[in-house]
Every structure is written in structure tokens, then in C-alpha cells.
Amino acid sequence: MRLAGLVILAAGMTTIVAARSLEISRLHSRLSVPPLYDDVSYFLDAIGWMNAAEGQSILASAWGLLHHHAPFSTLVAAIGFTLFPGSFIGPYLVNAVVVFAFLLGIVWLLWRRPVLEIAACLIAVPCVPVLWHTVTEARPDLPSGLAIGLMAGAIVDRGVLDRSVRSLAGLGVACALAASIKPTAFPAALVLLGSAFAIRLFADCIQAGGLRLSFRAAFSALLWFMLPLIATIAALIGPALVETVTYIFNVFVGQRDLWSTGESFWPGLLRFSIGGEGQFGLRYWFAIGLALMLLRLVLAAIHGKAALLDAVVLLATVLIAYAIPSVAEIKTYYFGAMFYGLFIVAMVLNGCVSFALVEELLARFGLHNDIRRTTLTAARVLMLAFVAQLFVRHVVIGQISTATPLSVQQQESIRVATERLWSLLRDMKPEQPGPLTVGFSSPYPVTSATIHLYAAQAKMNLVIRNELFHRSPQATGDALLKSEILVLSSSIPHTLVGPRVGDELMARMDADKSVCVLETMTFPDVTLRVYRRGC
């Protein structure tokens, strides 16, 4: 009954969060327009994989899936399209399963605690904005962050020396699965999870009497954890390892100047905590999490060395999760996902452990059992009532946030421009035998991958060229002229990749006698012009 009740509560929280998140997305975010970056890339992979799977065996389809940029997101999108054909809501709705799984993971971590404490955590966690954004974004970053945070919490929550071989091997496999959700982030995930295990193991050795006495047991525990971890990572990421490493190198080295924020060290260091991204993803829960962490450290110091070591192990792991995205030169909200996930897990662990430490203190002071039990139960009921009213105010009836907000004007520009461009392209024939080649200078107001997705769904032979990563107008223009159809956007203030050279490109194409204008679309925030080469 206890398990069933907690599962039902987790399912109810997930349902409310999913419904409210999809509602706000339909009004102000991704579901209000055609698919946008980066989500549309995974939709396109899913459509391509589903089309190819029609003539393949299950084994061949699985092997092909492992070669995708993010197999997890491709599979989620494919399931969504299968359950909700003809709609783009499916992949987002399936992401609610990630939130549900995360809440069940919280139940698993806290299983030995009183049911009121677990229930309070299940109600508090969905109040954190990261959970809302996990539903409204189809990219793998946030699901990966939640899974990695859960696994890091599972590692440091209790000692590893006293775990069985089966438990250690299972933990290694689970960590590998979490790290594989976003393959391009697996080096950072392995650094975090490996560091968490090493810190936990070192603390266990100290408690066991020193490294010399516990060396053999420590080596055995490390071996049983690392071997399944490496084997599972090799099986899941190995098939596309070259492509994954190449992508990481291109983004963090070759295109670093295009993606980097250019901010100084200290603002960059604070970005994921009290900065914009941290406040956006965690809101006031960052302050609550810090308070709970400090409370646990104080209570642990009173209890002694063992309790203090446990608190420090968790704190050190959280700091590593914070440092990994903070010291990187390239920063986005999504890069902080593993820190957000672990911070949420640390918050619930610190809260429940603090309750346990307070209970031990009250027993130490000789407080009568009935009085102690009544006092703690009253405190848990008050905590449950507090988080319940927060959930009602900020999720059920409040204005929840979305990771990709769009203004009314942006929605109109994206919808109209995408529909008109697709209508123009779908009936167009190439001048030469072969596919029609379309080059794009900007991802706004039309996302090139959206046109590619429509073409894949219509089984139309279309080649899309994204000329977004050139450093000068001359280089961008030369690259665009290699396509038969040119789609150019005017210069607009934006935070998207690529220089703002739209006006210069349009002036060059207007003066070029080898190209002609097919259509011009003018919106309050942007002008889109479509050219054809060789007309």
C-alpha cells in the first residue's frame, strides 16, 4: 500500500506538470509554431529512422539507431509520432515519462524514510522549473541531467564498500545508461560519476580504518563498478564514437568563437547558480537547497565524523557538477542540466537526512518517545502542507515558465514564413536531374530542418544546406550560391549562431544577375527573401 500510494502520487504530480507544461508550450512556446531547433533535428532523425525501419530487421534498426546523434531522443520522438500520428505533441508528451521515472527514483533513494517525508519530496520536486522544461523540450539535455543527477545521488547516498557485487554492477550499468542519454556530453558525465564514486570510496576507506586496510575491498568495488560501466558505454556509444567525438571537437574547438559567451570568469562562474540560468532553472529552490545543505553540515558536525563525512561527500559531488559547466567557455542553459539534476537530488537527500539527524539529537537529549514521535510527525505534516501550497500556487494555478519562450510576433513570423516557404518548395522542380538543393543563411524565421522534416514526411527528395557557420558575408554568400534555392533573412539582433550579415547578403544577391527573387516576406521583426540561381 505504501509503494502503491507513492507511485500514484508520483503519477499524479507528473500528469499535472505535463498538462500545464504542454498548455504553456501551446500558447507561448514550441507547440505554438512549427518545430524549431534543436528539437526538430531529433524529429527528423526519428522520421528517417522510422522510414528506414520499414524494410529492415529489428537488429538492423537497433544498430542504425545507435548511430544517431542522440538515440534516446530519436527513440522518444519515434514513440511520440507512433502514438500521436500527424501531430508534434507526441514526443513532448512521452518526455513526461522521464519526469515520472525521476520521481520514482526519488522514491527509491528515500525508501527507508517515513512516507510523509517522501510524499513531501514528491510534491516539492515538481515545483522546480527544470521539471517543467523537461516536458517542453525534446532535446536530450534535461533528461540526461536528471538521470545523471539521480545516479550521482545514488552513488554518494550510502557507502560502496558494503554493497554487493550485483548492486555495484547494476549501479555501473545504470550510470552508463544515464550517461548515454546525451552522447556528446558523456565525457563530462563520466567525470562527474567517476568522481562521485571515487570520493564515496575514499570516504568509506577512511571510515573503515584507512586505505591500507581496505585497499583490496576498495579495488574490488571499483572494478565491479567500472567494468559494467565501460562495457555498457562501449555498447551504446561505441558505434557512433567517431561521429560523437568529431561533433564535440567541432563545437568546442572549431566553432568555439561562434558559441562562446565572451563573458569574464566570475560572471561565467555564477551563471548556473545565482546567474540567469540558475535562477531560470531552479528559481528560489537554489536558496532552499543551500539552506538544507548548510543545515545538514551543522547537524552532521554535532553528530560526529561519520555523519560529517557523508555530508561532505555529497557537497563535494555537487561542487564538481557545478564546476564542470561553469568553467567551460561555452555556456547555455542546457549545459547546466547535470548540476540542476544533482542539486535537486541533493536537496531532498539533505532534507531527509537532516530530519533523521534531528530525530537522533532529540533521542540523545532524552525526550520521551511519544513526544519525539508527535513532534516529528507534526513537523513532517507542516512541511507537506507547505510544499503542497507551493505546488498549487506555482504549478496548478500559477504561470509556469518554458525554456523557449516566443512572443506573439515571433510566433506569427515563424508560422507564416514556414508555411509559405514550404508551399513554394514542395511543388518546385530542380533545373537539373537530381534533388532540389536549398541553402539557408539563418535559422530564423524558418528553421531549415523544419523544411527538411516536412520533405521527409512527404518523402520528397530535398537537400538542405545550412550556411550558418561562416565568419564573413563573402564566405557565406559564396557558400549560398552553391545551392539552387537561396533562403535569406535580414539582419536581426539575435543570440543565434552565425554573424548578422543578412542585409549585406540580400544586397549582394539583389545585384547578382545570375539569381532572381522568387518571393519576399516582410514581417515587423524580419524580412525573408527567397532566390533562385540560374533563372
List helix spans (H) across 328-368.
337-364
Q: In whole angstroms, what separates CA 153 from the centre of its chain?
A: 17
What pLDDT is stored for residue 365 in this prediction?
A: 78
CA gap 466, 447 in Å, rounded: 10
What pLDDT is stored for residue 368 in this prediction?
A: 74
**C-alpha angle with apex 499: 497 to 504, nearest 5 degrees?**
140
Q: In whole angstroms, what separates CA 186 from the centre of its chain?
A: 13
Q: Are 72 and 180 in contact (CB under 8 A)?
A: yes
Q: What is residue 504's three-state secondary structure?
A: helix
Instruction: Name the burial class of residue 202, with classes exposed (0-12), middle (13-18) and buried (19+) by CB atoms within 10 angstroms of its CB.
Output: middle
- Taken in order 193, 232, 140, 68, the sign of the CA dihedral is positive
Q: Which three cell numbers stand for residue 493?
A: 539582433
Residue type, 479: A
CA gap 470, 530 in Å, rounded: 20
What pLDDT is stored for residue 409 in this prediction?
A: 92
Q: Are 289 and 121 in contact (CB under 8 A)?
A: no
What pLDDT is stored for residue 363 in this prediction?
A: 82
CA gap 283, 277 in Å, rounded: 9
Q: pLDDT tens digits, the chain, 535 residues: what are they?
A: 899 999 999 999 999 999 999 999 999 999 999 999 889 999 999 998 998 888 788 888 999 999 898 999 999 999 999 999 988 999 999 999 999 999 999 999 999 999 999 999 999 999 999 999 999 999 999 999 999 999 999 999 999 998 999 999 999 999 999 999 999 999 999 999 999 999 999 999 998 887 777 888 999 999 999 999 999 999 999 898 888 888 888 877 777 666 666 666 677 788 888 888 889 999 999 999 999 999 999 999 999 889 999 999 999 999 999 999 988 777 789 989 999 999 999 999 999 999 999 988 888 877 777 888 888 899 999 999 999 999 999 999 988 999 999 999 999 999 999 999 999 998 888 777 788 899 998 888 999 999 999 998 888 888 999 888 777 888 888 888 899 999 999 887 654 545 567 888 888 898 888 889 999 999 998 999 999 987 7
Q: Are 483 and 379 in contact (CB under 8 A)?
A: no
Closest CA to 355 of 372, 370, 338: 372
Q: Which three cell numbers stand for residue 56?
A: 529492415
State the maximum Cα–Cα separation within the chain, in Å, rounded to a whole number: 93
Q: What is the pTM of this model?
A: 0.92
Q: Are 77 and 45 in contact (CB under 8 A)?
A: yes
What pLDDT is stored for residue 110 in this prediction?
A: 95
